[in-house]
Structure 1
Amino acid sequence: MAETTPPSRTGVPVGIASTTLSDDPGCWPSVLTSSMRCEIVKKGPVQIMDIEFPQNLDNPPRRFTKDSYKRTMKNGENIHRSWLVYSIHTDGVFCFPCTVFGKRERDNALTTCGYGGWKNLSYRLKKHECTKVHCDNVKKWHDLQRRLQTSTLIDQRQMELMQLEVEHWKGVIRRVIAIVSHLAERNQALRGTTSTVYDRHNGNFLAQVELLAQFDPVMNEHIRRIQCKETKVHYLSGVIQNEIIQLVGDKILQEIARRVHKAKYFSVIMDCTPDISHKEQLSVVLRIVNCETPVSIAEHFLGFVHVEDTTGKGLSEILLDQLEKHNLSISDCRGQSYDNGSNMMGHKQGVQARILELNNKALCIPCSSHTLNLVVSDAAKSSAPNNFFA
């Protein structure tokens, strides 16, 4: 039979840990980490006084009262029990320092599920606060509280060093991304024939790192660690460079898609060309009216797409796939512009005809650059000698 969580006296299951640390000790997890203890001690015990406490099922029924937060001495003096906390979750009371710093003993309800025997509460509290375990936990509580207030924790220096290390690596990553983006913007090669720092053939990326290290303390410290072999992780390899380029490229495409969505309507410009390996590459450009002040015309390059089917049908499917990839609708297309090839401009099977079938508002205009090339070519042929183009 599956084990079930016993209900509390208020009908709420006991032992279910809250996802966040609340002020109610009945919601704390059974095992507290050091960070949890620090957070709880910073808040301190929260003593509830301004509610109507529920009655239990005793005969006659009894309830917790706020008078239990103080102890009356034989001489009539009242001492405040700052360590006593009432839990709404379990309708019981907890010993704050023993719950936070002590062992959760099964036979001690003050540290586990909350003590709810209101008839014997006064006797139980007097007996508990006189124990050595309770006194030791109270001392630990006040000691940690003082250290937190004065920032003199034993591991405070270790935490500061850890934070400095985190900030160092954040600074290194920011600079590496900035250098990669700077070189990629200018279409410059990143790597050379070697990948060693301070080698004259190590390429533009490492050369920029070396230059930055002369003036920037973060990169200077990073290079020092590499040279002294204090770290095996340096984020300067070609793999990291490619990964950063990919991540930055993805962010750029997301920004392009955002701007196109904001502009609503767009035009498409496409052209095919073989690369050095004789594979056909399709370039896709979107032209929009940038509605942000000042208003301007903008063209955004989505990238090269390798194509195997260069027919009108194949190119149309690639265009639609690219638009769908960026969550763009062909119904918002208001213009097309291609070269004069039949697969692009064909009136029956070309890309422009297939797109017009889907959206009759996507008017097609021949690319002026290709048209200009044909005009110049025809003019050159008519004025050149007969054997010039032979």
Structure 2
Amino acid sequence: MSGYRNKFSGGEYRKRKAEESTKIDNLLEKIPKISSFMTSSRTVELLAEFDPFLSEHLKLYAHPGSGNTSYLSKTIYEETILLIQNKVLRQISSEVQSTKYFGVFVDSTPDIAHIDQLTIIIRYVRVNGERFSEFLPNIGHKAKYIEDALLKSLENNGLDIMNCRGNLMIMQVICQAFRHESKQLI
């Protein structure tokens, strides 16, 4: 038992947490690069930067004379983005689960196409601060609809509402109604 305690005590634990934090930060720093490459239709070349097998394959066969990689369909492009999104969301969920307690920030915001979306941000104690969770299509401005969407999002990400220790809503009326309803739940 003392060997176990020594293995994970003090400095070693902080060192491991710092290494994990660095890995996650490095991953998050790559996301703008991923977006940039995908928007310029160079998705395969981007993936090859992180996959030695694909990189070698492209060197040998990709563009023997033309200098261009082949086109990826819209479906493959969107599936790739969805896979990356799911991986990042799973990482955030596991971080929140490891800290146990969290707070939520919910807002309704139109995107660039003026489509109203529900924004959910989960706040939890971590050296690097909060993480964005997800955009959801807005289902209305009634507190019950927003509450249902939030609870479903937390459930889908394996988070227990009973560990939520705070919430913040930008829309004042919904904020008051949500606090009343969420206190009844807890």
* Cα drift, residue 252 of structure 1: 1.3
> Which of 275, 280, 286 is residue 122 of structure 2 equivalent to?
286
Question: Which residue pairs with 1:308 in the alignment?
Answer: 139
Question: Which residue pairs with 2:7 in the alignment?
Answer: none
CA deviations 1:187-209 (Å, max 9, x no partner) are 43734xxxxxxxxxxx3626966
List gaps (5 residues or longer) in structure 1: 1-180, 192-202, 291-295, 360-390
> Which of 160, 163, 166 is residue 332 of structure 1 equivalent to?
163
* Cα drift, residue 333 of structure 1: 0.3
Q: How many residues align?
A: 150
Structure 1 residues 182 and 205 mapped into 2: Cα distance closer, same or farther (>3 Å)? farther
Letter in 2 for 1:245: I
Question: Which residue pairs with 1:219 in the alignment?
Answer: 58
Question: Which residue pairs with 1:341 in the alignment?
Answer: 172
> Which of 190, 199, 209 is residue 38 of structure 2 equivalent to?
190
Q: Give the distance between the partners of 2:58 and 2:132, measured in 1 at CA.
A: 34
Does the 8 Å contact 1:287/1:297 carry over to 2? no
* Cα drift, residue 220 of structure 1: 2.5
* Cα drift, residue 297 of structure 1: 4.9
Q: Give the distance between the partners of 2:43 and 2:86, measured in 1 at CA.
A: 24
* Cα drift, residue 298 of structure 1: 2.6
Q: In structure 2, the residue corresponding to 1:323 is in which secondary structure?
A: helix
List gaps (5 residues or longer) in structure 2: 1-28, 50-54
CA deviations 1:119-158 (Å, max 9, x no partner) are xxxxxxxxxxxxxxxxxxxxxxxxxxxxxxxxxxxxxxxx
- Of all paired residues, the percent bearing the same amino acid is 26
Q: In structure 1, the residue corresponding to 2:139 is in which secondary structure?
A: coil
Q: In structure 2, the residue corresponding to 1:224 is in which secondary structure?
A: coil
| TM-score, length of structure 1 as denominator length | 0.34
Does the 8 Å contact 1:323/1:330 carry over to 2? yes
- Name the larger-Rg structure: 1
> Which of 66, 80, 83 is residue 244 of structure 1 equivalent to?
80
| TM-score, length of structure 2 as denominator length | 0.66
Question: Which residue pairs with 1:205 in the alignment?
Answer: 42
Question: Which residue pairs with 1:86 in the alignment?
Answer: none
Q: In structure 1, the residue corresponding to 2:36 is in which secondary structure?
A: coil
CA deviations 1:137-185 (Å, max 9, x no partner) are xxxxxxxxxxxxxxxxxxxxxxxxxxxxxxxxxxxxxxxxxxxx94645
* Cα drift, residue 329 of structure 1: 1.1
Structure 1 residues 297 and 220 mapped into 2: Cα distance closer, same or farther (>3 Å)? closer
Q: Give the distance between the partners of 1:303 and 1:355, measured in 2 at CA.
A: 20
